[in-house]
Amino acid sequence: MSISMFNTRTMLKALEQVFPATTFLLNTFFQGVEKSESKYVDIDIYKGKKKLAPFVRSTQQGKFVERIGFTTKTFEPPYIKEKMVTTSDEILNNRAMGGNIYLGKTPQQRAAEQLMKDMEYLRELIIRREEWMASQVLETGIIPIVGDGYEAEIDFGMDATHIIATGDITVWDDANATPLSDLLDWKRLIQLDSGLVPRIVVMGYDAWDAFIAHVNVQTLLDNRRIALGQIEPRELPEGVEYQGDVHNLSIYTYGETYVSDAEATTYYVPAKKIFMGCTNARTARHYGAIRDLESGFTPVQYFPKSWVEKDPSSRILLVQSSPLVAMHQPDAFLCAAVLT
């Protein structure tokens, strides 16, 4: 098959469009990584009570104190198995995107490069699923697990008062709304219930637009006598923008999307909602054991495996993972729908 000189000899180096997996929510709120040699993980859900020590006469017996603070729940992290196949014809006949046909590589070199590209691609699919888990648990405290012949729900028990519906507030595009007071109220609610002070707010795009345009916020920014906040937008990696500080809360917007199981492009942070949380809360990315006899049930985050099929000749790549993004202190987080 002939190749047009225009399409090859004069072609500039191809720009290979890639969609790197972003992990802003994971890196901000779920930094810890814990691996298990079992297919189950035990998670301590902490909900402490700020009780006072009781007074007692010195001549009376001491008071027994109830040991409270956490409950232990056992979860089975969902399992992921992604496969890709590379045939011998693909290695022999295909030119890699941007490759030079006159400085060609050996089939073995092309096969090795393709294997590395495929492995990275499958790993990024899994990372996107983990970021999706973080998004789900920040929004509702629940991760719905729906797959081929598998349906379950992992509930970390976020208190209902930490899931704010539009009927609970005056929505932010209403002139009578009080976005600044809402943020302060929610900050105090988290502190009251968890004992931790939230420092981060991540807003969906519509929520941020309504917030910054509201007269309640504009009045604050125009008041130079009281230093309650400052808006100073700054673009960061991973589709993140730092917008500024209000009430000692750092506000970010996160515009990254994923393609859902229903083939819909979806924001990790819903456009009309906000997430508020504590970066020092107990959370973790848990990984269950890999169910592989040859590996001895290795406790790793991502486990690649490759083998050759003889007829038709092809190489199979398999990447496995058993991730669970978990909240150990669910009341250190809050989600609010601020627009209808």
Half-sphere exposure of 198 (CA within 13 A, CB side): 32
Query: Packing angle between helix 215-222 and helix 205-213, nearest 10 degrees?
Result: 60
End-to-end CA distance of the chain: 57
**E strands present in 226-277:** 229-236, 240-246, 249-254, 257-259, 265-267, 273-277
**Separation CA 110–CA 97 (nearest Å):** 12
Q: Among residues 191, 317, 331, which one has the least CA distance to residue 247? A: 191
Quick one: pLDDT at residue 89? Answer: 76
Residue 261, both tokens = 């199981």
Quick one: pLDDT at residue 177? Answer: 97
Q: What angle do CA 47, 155, 188 make, to 5 degrees?
A: 40
Q: Among residues 321, 258, 237, which one has the least CA distance to residue 287? A: 321
Count CB neighbours of 30 within 10 A.
25
In this structure, the chain runs to a length of 340
Quick one: pLDDT at residue 12? Answer: 26
Q: Does domain 21-340 have CATH number 3.90.1150.10?
A: no
- Split the chain (340 residues) into runs of 10 and give each run's mean pLDDT: 34 42 93 90 75 72 63 88 86 59 66 81 92 98 89 93 97 97 97 95 97 90 60 81 92 94 94 97 93 77 85 86 94 97
Number of DSSP helices (H) and strands (E) in the chain, helices first: 7, 19
Quick one: pLDDT at residue 43? Answer: 85
pTM: 0.85
Quick one: pLDDT at residue 185? Answer: 97
Which amino acid would we find at residue 262?
A
Quick one: pLDDT at residue 259? Answer: 92
Domain boundaries, the chain: 21-340
